[in-house]
Amino acid sequence: MMLMEPVTFSESGGVRYLHFGTELIQGAMRIRDPDEIYLEYNQQMMAWLLFLETTPGMKVAQLGLGTGALAKFQHRHCPAVKTTVVELNPAVIVAARSMFFMANDDRRLETLQADAKTFVQLSQYKNQFDAVQVDLYDAICDGPAASSLEFYQGCFDILNSPGVMTVNLFSRHQSFDINLQNICEAFDNRVLLFPESHDCNVVAIAFKGPQLEAEWQDVSKRAKLIMEKTGLPTNKWVTGISRENARQENKLSI
């Protein structure tokens, strides 16, 4: 029988934090605005919005639940989207609903207690999702809990075409290079990185489908619309992505 990590909480300055039995933060929520995505790297996990239109029937897979910040945000701001959450620890699912105010399942939200590494290998989910968000960490936080080439190939396989994956990586750890190498191999080097956030997180964006070519000014216009609609600080994203990635300075080509 697999032992699950204990789920614990703390509060400071009007913010509630999720922990897995240590002081390391696994997620956070501003209590007066529970649907806001509070942490910067968590906000960047929504970067697929820059590249995909939210149309009826769109599906997003969220691997790793945390406080449910992404699921809550999508439930509120992306009414056309169905989110499927995959979380192994049942206590995390209970906590997301009771302590962080995530909605119960409905036609736009499905929560599965399952191992993400197994989920991405299931043939029933092949080509089923337009976006995949990966944020899988354990109590030690010494790198993603799923990092193999097989795992990222599974993420590629469950994506539709076109499709976008966002992944939370920890930049100042040996796991970073391993994960990035496996993501690049699984996604044929079609990977962009955000600049490192203040907490050493780096979000990677990987693409499946036709070659994507766009002027950065057009991407900036879309970012502005998303910011006006959702409150996400997307105005900072385009500059950061274009400067962080080689051969992307003049236009987006990935």
Q: Quick one: how far is CA 10 from the chain centroid?
A: 23
Domain that holds residue 202: 8-212
Cα separation, 30 vs 157, in Å, equals 35
Task: Supply the pTM of this predicted model.
Answer: 0.95
pLDDT at position 3: 64
225 is a domain residue: no
62 is a domain residue: yes
Between the CA of residue 254 and those of 47, 63, 132, 178, what are the distances in Å?
Answer: 15, 24, 18, 21
240 is a domain residue: no
10-residue averages of pLDDT along the chain (254 residues) = 78 94 88 95 97 95 96 95 96 96 96 97 98 83 80 98 96 88 98 90 96 94 96 94 90 93
pLDDT at position 141: 61
Strand pairing report for 129-134 and 58-63? parallel
pLDDT at position 1: 45
| Domain count along the chain | 1
Q: List the Cα angle 30/35/39 in 5-degree steps.
A: 55
233 is a domain residue: no
Closest CA to 71 of 156, 233, 81: 81
Q: Residue 164 maps to which CATH number?
A: 3.40.50.150
105 is a domain residue: yes
241 is a domain residue: no
Cα separation, 113 vs 87, in Å, equals 5
Q: Please, is 147 exposed, middle or buried when counting C-beta atoms within 10 Å of its C-beta (0-12, 13-18, 19+)?
A: buried
3-state secondary structure the chain: CCCCCCCEEEEECCEEEEECCCCCCCEEEECCCCCCCCCHHHHHCCHHHHCCCCCCCEEEEEECCCCCHHHHHHHHHCCCEEEEEEECCHHHHHHHHHCCCCCCCECCEEEEECCHHHHCCCHHHCCCEEEEEECCCCCCCCCCCCCCHHHHHHHHHHEEEEEEEEEEEECCCCHHHHHHHHHHHHCCCCEEECCCCCCCEEEEEEEECCCCEEEHHHHHHHHHHHHHHHCCCHHHHHHHHHHHCCCCCCEEEC
Cα separation, 60 vs 45, in Å, equals 12
**Structure tokens, 37:** 């995505």
100 is a domain residue: yes
